[in-house]
Structure 1
Amino acid sequence: MPTAIAVTSADLVLPPTDHQTPTAALLHSPDAQPLDAALADMSVLLEQHGYVIALYPSTIPLAHERRLHTVRSVLESDRIACLKLDLPPLGVAVLVRQLRQLSICDFSAGVVASAARLLSHYIYAGALLNSVTRLDRVPVSLKSHAKSWVPGSQFGVLANPNPQLIKIGSGELAGPEFRTQLLVAKGQLASEWVSSTLAPAWQVQGLEETALPVDSPRWWGTSRLVEFGAYLPDISVLYQLVSSVRREVCTWCGRELIGDRCGFCSAPLAPPENQTHTTGVLNHGAPMRQGS
């Protein structure tokens, strides 16, 4: 059985890209499920899959995050990985789907878990906003704040992999230098800028629409937005990207990993000189960046 991928919200589970991509398990919040039920559900997942990789946004309530670690602690299981992600909600959903794709490949659970940090570098997650006055996830200058009060102003913001902010009509967002597909989730902002301007500029290979994640308005500071994420959709490319990095063995828990940190116990790779970097996996020879 493939390694189980679990999430903390149902809207982080995007439709599968093919009939082989498994779904993700839902880890309920404390106010929606008592602890004994959460322990029972996790025990079933471990029995059926062997390992569980739980991915959750950095913005979830503290009580929900504590529940995840409580379940892991009570079960005394080192086969549960709890990975906190700083990506915007739609970016988290994209990464979750990519790990769901990788979970059925011939990678160990340790490699799949540590691949989350690697793959996040190749997700271009952003949004079109009508205001940046309440945006605190991306650096915003005083000048941009002032412009935000001008009626009709709109801003293109990229949160990952490198923060960017432009006023629509006065610049462009730097996009990926490799082939991607664009996922779009519309909020309460009527605009076609993402599909008519951004998508052609980034030369995306296709565009897919989905529902806006519940937490997106809070993450971006406004409900008047269009969230987007450019990503690698092809499982063969993802497989090549992950398999091209030399695998190491965690000196703490003994599991396989790629990059510079274990996905299960969070121990850093030692010694540092064992880290590797490869090039040429993606189009245009985009380098792998590890250990951000």
Structure 2
Amino acid sequence: MPTAIAVTSADLVLPPPDGQTPNAAVLRPAGKEHTLEHTLAELQTLLDQHGYVVVLYPASLPDRTVHRLHTARALLESDRIALLRLDLPPLGLATLALQLRQLALCDFSPGVLASAARLLSHYIYAGALLGSVAKLDRVPVGLGSHAKSWVPGSQFAVLATPAPQLVKVSGGNAAVQGPALLQGPGFGTQLLIARSQLSSDWVTAQLAPAWRVQGVAEAPLPAESARWWATGKLVEFAAAIPDITMLYQLVSSVQREDCHWCGLELIGGRCGFCAAPLLPRDQRTRTHAVGRRELAEGGTRVLTPGPAQARRAIGP
């Protein structure tokens, strides 16, 4: 079975583009009806069925649920669970989860798949059209924009990733043309839109043509979006690479290394499972076997068996 991709809300699971893409597992948030024992059972079931689990969760997730996930991972004593906190807005996170679900069917190892999440997040243009930026704190907002938020009918186009941008697109006499200023991707993308209490066709009528997207699709607005954007009046959007072949080539083009701590493959600067940073090039001769022996000689050693591999020490 492919590596399991898990999210923390059912509305972060986008419908697959074909009949082969696996579904995402949904880990329920911490609460009176969902105890630590339930979380442990969910993760253990996924480990038994898939061997490895990659959990994606937004930076806005309540601390209680985040602590529950990390506690469960520690109690299971498993280095086969990757907990990845991402600064993507909810719709962008759902898009990334779909991309990883598609890539899970390819020949990538679990370590490469987990570390590919950070790589692919840089190619997702996620933002929103907002009726107010007065309470927005996830993207830099100047005093002028805060003041203009109080003008009736004001709307702001905000891009959160890969680089923050904010432009005023309507309201008052000083409205500017957003598409000319909101810089988009220089590669082919598909645009996903989720609507809420804001009545506007700006995203489809102006932004989509300016970005030359290959197609536009709509999805329900994630429940976390209103908290992430600090307003319920929004139209959230995310532009991303839809072609699985291009995604595969993008991930395959990055050099792979072995994590010096847990031994899994990784791309980029940090292991997705144990969070250990990639060692400087002149220190990469230190093998995992050496690190495991040093750990055994120097302190407590916690081990967990993998589905088809030697036992490995858990990372920091």
Query: With structure 1 as the length reference, what TM-score do the two structures score?
Result: 0.92
Question: 3-state DSSP class of the match of 1:233?
Answer: coil
1:21 is aligned to 2:21 = yes
Structure 2: gaps of 5 or more residues? 170-174, 285-316
Q: Following TM superposition, by how much is the alpha carbon of 1:147 offset from its aligned partner in structure 2, in angstroms?
A: 1.3
Q: Following TM superposition, by how much is the alpha carbon of 1:173 offset from its aligned partner in structure 2, in angstroms?
A: 0.6
- The letter of the residue matching 2:197 is Q
- The letter of the residue matching 1:42 is L
Which residue number in structure 2 is paired with residue 94 of structure 1?
95
Question: 3-state DSSP class of the match of 1:260?
Answer: coil
Q: Partners in 2 of 1:77 and 1:165 — Cα distance?
A: 42
Which residue number in structure 1 is paired with residue 11 of structure 2?
11
Question: 3-state DSSP class of the match of 1:189?
Answer: coil
Change (3 A) 1:106 1:164: same
1:225 is aligned to 2:234 = yes
Q: Which runs of 4+ in 1 moved over 6 A?
A: none
Which residue number in structure 2 is paired with residue 85 of structure 1?
86
1:201 is aligned to 2:210 = yes
Question: 3-state DSSP class of the match of 2:126?
Answer: strand
- Whether contact under 8 Å (2:39, 2:69) holds in the other structure is no
Larger of the two Rg values belongs to structure: 2
- Whether contact under 8 Å (2:60, 2:227) holds in the other structure is no
Equivalence map 1:1-292=2 (5 Å): 1-31=1-31, 32-168=33-169, 169-170=175-176, 171=178, 172-271=181-280
Question: 3-state DSSP class of the match of 1:73?
Answer: helix
Q: Partners in 2 of 1:121 and 1:50 — Cα distance?
A: 27
| Count of residues in correspondence between the two structures | 275
- The letter of the residue matching 1:191 is S
Change (3 A) 1:38 1:220: same
Q: Following TM superposition, by how much is the alpha carbon of 1:41 offset from its aligned partner in structure 2, in angstroms?
A: 2.0
Q: Following TM superposition, by how much is the alpha carbon of 1:151 offset from its aligned partner in structure 2, in angstroms?
A: 1.2
Which residue number in structure 2 is paired with residue 287 of structure 1?
none
- The letter of the residue matching 1:14 is L
Q: Following TM superposition, by how much is the alpha carbon of 1:202 offset from its aligned partner in structure 2, in angstroms?
A: 0.1
Question: 3-state DSSP class of the match of 1:54?
Answer: strand
Change (3 A) 1:134 1:274: farther
Question: 3-state DSSP class of the match of 1:126?
Answer: strand
The Cα RMSD (Å) is: 1.3
- The letter of the residue matching 2:210 is A
Which residue number in structure 2 is paired with residue 290 of structure 1?
none
User: Quick one: percent identity of the two aligned structures?
Assistant: 66
- The letter of the residue matching 1:269 is L
- The letter of the residue matching 2:136 is L
